[in-house]
Protein backbone atom coordinates (compact mmCIF):
# COMPACT_ATOMS: atom_id res chain seq x y z
CA UNK A 1 0.00 0.00 0.00
CA UNK A 2 2.79 2.54 0.62
CA UNK A 3 3.94 2.07 -2.99
CA UNK A 4 0.43 2.72 -4.22
CA UNK A 5 0.23 5.89 -2.14
CA UNK A 6 3.60 7.03 -3.48
CA UNK A 7 2.53 6.42 -7.06
CA UNK A 8 -0.74 8.28 -6.56
CA UNK A 9 1.10 11.19 -4.95
CA UNK A 10 3.61 11.18 -7.81
CA UNK A 11 0.83 11.37 -10.39
CA UNK A 12 -1.00 14.09 -8.45
CA UNK A 13 2.17 16.18 -8.13
CA UNK A 14 2.65 16.33 -11.89
CA UNK A 15 1.49 19.55 -13.51
CA UNK A 16 -1.17 18.60 -16.05
CA UNK A 17 -0.57 21.71 -18.24
CA UNK A 18 2.84 20.57 -19.41
CA UNK A 19 3.86 17.31 -21.10
CA UNK A 20 5.75 14.76 -19.06
CA UNK A 21 9.40 14.13 -19.78
CA UNK A 22 10.38 10.73 -21.24
CA UNK A 23 12.25 9.76 -18.09
CA UNK A 24 9.25 10.62 -15.92
CA UNK A 25 7.02 8.58 -18.23
CA UNK A 26 9.31 5.59 -17.82
CA UNK A 27 9.43 6.12 -14.07
CA UNK A 28 5.64 6.26 -13.82
CA UNK A 29 5.20 3.17 -15.96
CA UNK A 30 7.71 1.23 -13.88
CA UNK A 31 5.95 2.41 -10.72
CA UNK A 32 2.59 1.26 -12.10
CA UNK A 33 4.05 -2.11 -13.15
CA UNK A 34 5.61 -2.77 -9.74
CA UNK A 35 2.40 -1.73 -7.97
CA UNK A 36 0.43 -4.01 -10.26
CA UNK A 37 2.75 -6.96 -9.60
CA UNK A 38 2.58 -6.40 -5.83
CA UNK A 39 -1.22 -6.15 -5.75
CA UNK A 40 -1.56 -9.21 -8.01
CA UNK A 41 0.64 -11.23 -5.66
CA UNK A 42 -1.36 -10.01 -2.69
CA UNK A 43 -4.70 -10.98 -4.24
CA UNK A 44 -3.37 -14.35 -5.39
CA UNK A 45 -2.08 -15.11 -1.87
CA UNK A 46 -5.36 -14.03 -0.27
CA UNK A 47 -7.42 -16.16 -2.64
CA UNK A 48 -5.06 -19.10 -2.12
CA UNK A 49 -5.71 -19.00 1.61
CA UNK A 50 -9.44 -18.62 1.03
CA UNK A 51 -9.45 -21.67 -1.27
CA UNK A 52 -7.39 -23.78 1.14
CA UNK A 53 -9.53 -23.15 4.24
CA UNK A 54 -12.57 -25.29 3.21
CA UNK A 55 -10.57 -28.34 2.09
CA UNK A 56 -10.27 -29.83 5.64
CA UNK A 57 -14.01 -29.31 6.05
CA UNK A 58 -14.75 -31.40 2.98
CA UNK A 59 -12.31 -34.08 4.14
CA UNK A 60 -14.06 -34.18 7.52
CA UNK A 61 -17.53 -34.24 5.92
CA UNK A 62 -16.45 -37.19 3.82
CA UNK A 63 -16.13 -39.25 7.00
CA UNK A 64 -19.00 -37.58 8.80
CA UNK A 65 -22.22 -38.32 6.95
CA UNK A 66 -22.12 -37.06 3.40
CA UNK A 67 -21.24 -38.67 0.10
CA UNK A 68 -17.53 -39.20 -0.30
CA UNK A 69 -17.77 -38.67 -4.07
CA UNK A 70 -19.31 -35.23 -3.66
CA UNK A 71 -16.70 -34.28 -1.06
CA UNK A 72 -13.95 -35.49 -3.38
CA UNK A 73 -15.37 -33.51 -6.32
CA UNK A 74 -15.58 -30.44 -4.09
CA UNK A 75 -11.92 -30.80 -3.19
CA UNK A 76 -11.01 -31.33 -6.86
CA UNK A 77 -12.88 -28.16 -7.83
CA UNK A 78 -11.13 -26.14 -5.13
CA UNK A 79 -7.74 -27.53 -6.16
CA UNK A 80 -8.44 -26.70 -9.82
CA UNK A 81 -9.32 -23.14 -8.82
CA UNK A 82 -6.15 -22.96 -6.78
CA UNK A 83 -4.01 -24.27 -9.64
CA UNK A 84 -5.57 -21.77 -12.00
CA UNK A 85 -4.76 -18.71 -9.92
CA UNK A 86 -1.36 -19.86 -8.64
CA UNK A 87 0.29 -21.45 -11.64
CA UNK A 88 -1.51 -21.54 -14.95
CA UNK A 89 -1.60 -17.82 -15.70
CA UNK A 90 2.19 -17.53 -15.72
CA UNK A 91 3.17 -20.61 -17.71
CA UNK A 92 4.71 -20.06 -21.12
CA UNK A 93 4.61 -23.52 -22.65
CA UNK A 94 6.82 -22.53 -25.62
CA UNK A 95 9.88 -22.50 -23.33
CA UNK A 96 9.62 -26.22 -22.52
CA UNK A 97 10.92 -29.09 -24.66
CA UNK A 98 9.37 -31.98 -22.73
CA UNK A 99 6.67 -33.95 -24.52
CA UNK A 100 4.59 -34.11 -21.35
CA UNK A 101 4.64 -30.34 -21.03
CA UNK A 102 3.75 -29.98 -24.71
CA UNK A 103 0.83 -32.37 -24.15
CA UNK A 104 -0.26 -30.28 -21.17
CA UNK A 105 -0.07 -27.17 -23.32
CA UNK A 106 -2.54 -28.76 -25.72
CA UNK A 107 -4.80 -29.69 -22.82
CA UNK A 108 -4.56 -26.36 -21.10
CA UNK A 109 -6.70 -23.89 -22.87
CA UNK A 110 -8.28 -21.36 -20.52
CA UNK A 111 -11.76 -22.06 -21.83
CA UNK A 112 -11.43 -25.85 -21.42
CA UNK A 113 -9.97 -25.53 -17.94
CA UNK A 114 -12.64 -23.06 -16.83
CA UNK A 115 -15.49 -25.13 -18.28
CA UNK A 116 -14.18 -28.29 -16.62
CA UNK A 117 -13.96 -26.56 -13.26
CA UNK A 118 -17.43 -25.02 -13.64
CA UNK A 119 -18.93 -28.38 -14.63
CA UNK A 120 -17.45 -30.14 -11.60
CA UNK A 121 -18.56 -27.41 -9.20
CA UNK A 122 -22.03 -27.25 -10.79
CA UNK A 123 -22.46 -31.01 -10.42
CA UNK A 124 -21.54 -30.75 -6.74
CA UNK A 125 -23.93 -27.87 -6.26
CA UNK A 126 -26.84 -29.55 -8.06
CA UNK A 127 -26.45 -32.89 -6.29
CA UNK A 128 -26.33 -31.26 -2.86
CA UNK A 129 -29.22 -28.94 -3.71
CA UNK A 130 -31.42 -31.91 -4.65
CA UNK A 131 -30.65 -33.57 -1.32
CA UNK A 132 -32.18 -30.67 0.58
CA UNK A 133 -31.16 -27.44 2.17
CA UNK A 134 -29.28 -27.49 5.43
CA UNK A 135 -26.34 -25.94 7.15
CA UNK A 136 -23.89 -28.50 5.78
CA UNK A 137 -25.28 -28.25 2.25
CA UNK A 138 -24.39 -24.57 2.12
CA UNK A 139 -20.71 -25.57 2.26
CA UNK A 140 -21.05 -27.17 -1.15
CA UNK A 141 -21.71 -23.77 -2.69
CA UNK A 142 -18.07 -22.86 -1.94
CA UNK A 143 -16.51 -24.78 -4.90
CA UNK A 144 -18.83 -23.05 -7.37
CA UNK A 145 -18.05 -19.68 -5.83
CA UNK A 146 -14.32 -20.47 -5.93
CA UNK A 147 -14.40 -21.46 -9.60
CA UNK A 148 -16.28 -18.30 -10.59
CA UNK A 149 -14.04 -16.09 -8.47
CA UNK A 150 -10.87 -17.63 -9.95
CA UNK A 151 -12.13 -16.88 -13.45
CA UNK A 152 -12.98 -13.30 -12.51
CA UNK A 153 -9.69 -12.75 -10.68
CA UNK A 154 -7.62 -13.94 -13.65
CA UNK A 155 -9.74 -11.85 -16.03
CA UNK A 156 -9.16 -8.70 -13.95
CA UNK A 157 -5.44 -9.39 -13.58
CA UNK A 158 -4.99 -9.92 -17.32
CA UNK A 159 -7.08 -6.84 -18.16
CA UNK A 160 -4.97 -4.68 -15.87
CA UNK A 161 -1.76 -6.10 -17.36
CA UNK A 162 -3.07 -5.39 -20.86
CA UNK A 163 -4.02 -1.86 -19.79
CA UNK A 164 -0.53 -1.14 -18.50
CA UNK A 165 0.98 -2.62 -21.67
CA UNK A 166 -1.22 -0.44 -23.86
CA UNK A 167 -0.33 2.56 -21.69
CA UNK A 168 3.36 1.93 -22.33
CA UNK A 169 2.64 2.04 -26.08
CA UNK A 170 1.26 5.58 -25.68
CA UNK A 171 4.57 7.08 -24.60
CA UNK A 172 5.59 10.19 -26.48
CA UNK A 173 8.96 11.80 -26.98
CA UNK A 174 9.47 14.97 -25.03
CA UNK A 175 12.64 16.41 -23.59
CA UNK A 176 12.40 19.16 -21.04
CA UNK A 177 14.83 22.04 -21.30
Query: Mean pLDDT score of the chain, rounded to an integer?
Result: 77
Task: Name the percent of the chain lying above pLDDT 90.
Answer: 17
The tens digit of pLDDT for each residue in 61-71 reads: 655 556 778 88
Strands (DSSP E) found in the chain: none
Q: How many CA atoms lie within 13 A of 95 on its CB side?
A: 3
Q: How many CA atoms lie within 13 A of 145 on its CB side?
A: 9
Task: Give the integer Cα–Cα distance in Å for 125 and 104.
Answer: 28
pLDDT of residue 118: 93
Those residues with Cβ within 8 angstroms of residue 17's Cβ, 6 or more apart along the chain or in another chain: none
pLDDT of residue 121: 92
Task: Give the integer Cα–Cα distance in Å for 24 and 19.
Answer: 10
Task: Name the percent of the chain lying above pLDDT 70.
Answer: 66
Task: Give the integer Cα–Cα distance in Å for 63 and 66.
Answer: 7
Task: Give the integer Cα–Cα distance in Å for 61 and 103.
Answer: 35
DSSP characters for 72-111? HHHHHHHHHHHHIIIIITS--GGG---HHHHHHHHH--HH
The tens digit of pLDDT for each residue in 85-133 reads: 887 765 544 555 556 655 666 656 677 888 999 999 999 888 877 776 6
pLDDT of residue 165: 84
The tens digit of pLDDT for each residue in 4-62 reads: 566 656 666 655 666 677 777 788 888 888 888 889 889 999 999 999 998 888 787 65
pLDDT of residue 167: 82
The tens digit of pLDDT for each residue in 129-150 reads: 777 666 667 778 889 999 999 9
Amino acid sequence: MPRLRKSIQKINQLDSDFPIDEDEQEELLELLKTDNIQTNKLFINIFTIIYLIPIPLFIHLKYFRTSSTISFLSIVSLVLSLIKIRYLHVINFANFESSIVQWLSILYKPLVFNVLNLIISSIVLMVRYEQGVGDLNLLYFIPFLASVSSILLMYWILELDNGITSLSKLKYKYKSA
